[in-house]
Amino acid sequence: MRRNLWIGAVLVGLNAAVAALTLVWLPYGPTEMSGGRLSPPSWAHPAGTDRLGRDYLTQVMIGARIAMTVGIGAALLGGLIGTTLGVLAAFARRGLDDALAATLDILIAFPTLLLAMLVVAASDGASLWTAILAIGLAMSAIIARLVRILTKRVLAQDYITAARCSGLGWGKITIAHILPNILPTVMVAVALQFGLAVIAEASLSYLGLGTPPPNASWGQLLQQAQSTVFRAPMGVIAPGLALISLVLGINFLADGLRDLMDADEEIQP
């Protein structure tokens, strides 16, 4: 029954471990031309080399770090902004709440890629931070909409009215009652968004809107290997598999978390 959780934890854990490892050790330097051009997999280069003779495994490992950084960064940013906005909208007066809800709906309808281009255009150029900012902002709209509804549901409970009547202010009610009650659901939603953020980052860098070289992300690797896919298929297979393993792992983890919480909820009437 907890199989999802385990598979997810192992896949995500593996990616996280590789990402952490790149901080202290890499098989080759990221720009080091260590082998022949487009050489096939060998003991020295398990995933072969690219057209400049750089080691693919090294690049895929660095890609794991970038994917994890953007995923976690965007999830934190989106989770924080989204939760804050959602709670505020739920508390706001009717008119302001409607305005916020409409803004969120527009933001959600706005494609993440377009938003990313706007962020890139507004800043000095594409970087890790523009990717995190763009994806985090897009994510915050989805989280905010969910949090608004969840908060309203908690606010309708009698214990909130009773707490208010006994003289508890909104700030304390939010911290003591609302956040703990919405957190489990928000966590599952953020975990699911984490997976989408990794894909969004790959799409952005595929289009050249992500992290600039030489710290290539998976999307960029895929884009670079595209023209040589038949001569050196590992250039597409390696980052592709890495991307699938992380996104699948995150989704399994989120599913597992949700099952865990549903099981908990069954105990509580």
Partner 1 sequence: MSLLQVQDLTVSAGARELVHGVSFDLRPGERLGLVGESGSGKSLTAMAIVGLLAPGLTAGGSVLLDGQQMIGRPDRDLVRLRGAVASVVFQDPRSALDPLMRLGDQLAAPIRRRAVREGRALSSAQLRAEQIRWLDRVAIPEPDRILRAWPHEVSGGQRQRIAIAMALACGPRLLIADEPTTALDVSSQAEVLDLLGGLVRDEGLSLLFISHDLPVVARICDRVVVMRQGRAVEEGPTARVFTDPQDPYSQGLVAAARRLQSALENPA
Cα–Cα distance between 247 and 51 in angstroms, integer? 28
User: 111 or 171: whose CB is closer to partner 1?
Assistant: 171
User: 42 or 157: whose CB is closer to partner 1?
Assistant: 157
User: 83 or 224: whose CB is closer to partner 1?
Assistant: 83
Regarding 267 and contact with partner 1 (CB under 8 A), the answer is yes
Segment contacting partner 1 by CB under 8 A, of 66-74, 158-166, 192-200, 230-238: 158-166
Do 241 and 248 meet the contact criterion of CB atoms below 8 Å apart?
Answer: no
CA angle, residues 98, 141, 154, in degrees to nearest 5: 65
Regarding 263 and contact with partner 1 (CB under 8 A), the answer is no
The tokens describing 213, both together, are 């070289």
Q: What three-state secondary structure class fits 151?
A: helix
Whole-number minimum distance, CB 54 to partner 1, in Å?
A: 52
Whole-number minimum distance, CB 258 to partner 1, in Å?
A: 17
Q: Residues 70 to 89: which contact partner 1 by CB under 8 A?
A: none
Q: If you write DSSP's letter for every residue of 208-226 in order, what string do you get?
A: T-SPPTTS--HHHHHHHHG
CA angle, residues 112, 244, 131, in degrees to nearest 5: 30
Cα–Cα distance between 100 and 102 in angstroms, integer? 5
Whole-number minimum distance, CB 205 to partner 1, in Å?
A: 40
Regarding 168 and contact with partner 1 (CB under 8 A), the answer is yes
User: 25 or 94: whose CB is closer to partner 1?
Assistant: 94
Segment contacting partner 1 by CB under 8 A, of 77-85, 138-146, 177-185, 191-199: 177-185
Sign of the CA dihedral with 246 first, then 114, 119, and 60 last: positive
Burial of 86 (0-12, 13-18, 19+ CB in 10 A): buried
Q: Residues 87 to 106: which contact partner 1 by CB under 8 A?
A: 93-94
User: 122 or 267: whose CB is closer to partner 1?
Assistant: 267
Regarding 167 and contact with partner 1 (CB under 8 A), the answer is yes
Phi, psi dihedrals of residue 88, rounded to the nearest 5°: -60, -45
| Interface size with partner 1, residues (CB under 8 A) | 22
Regarding 1 and contact with partner 1 (CB under 8 A), the answer is no
Type of residue found at 91 = F
User: 106 or 162: whose CB is closer to partner 1?
Assistant: 162
- What residue ranges bind partner 1 (CB under 8 A)? 93-94, 157-159, 161-170, 176-177, 180-181, 267-269
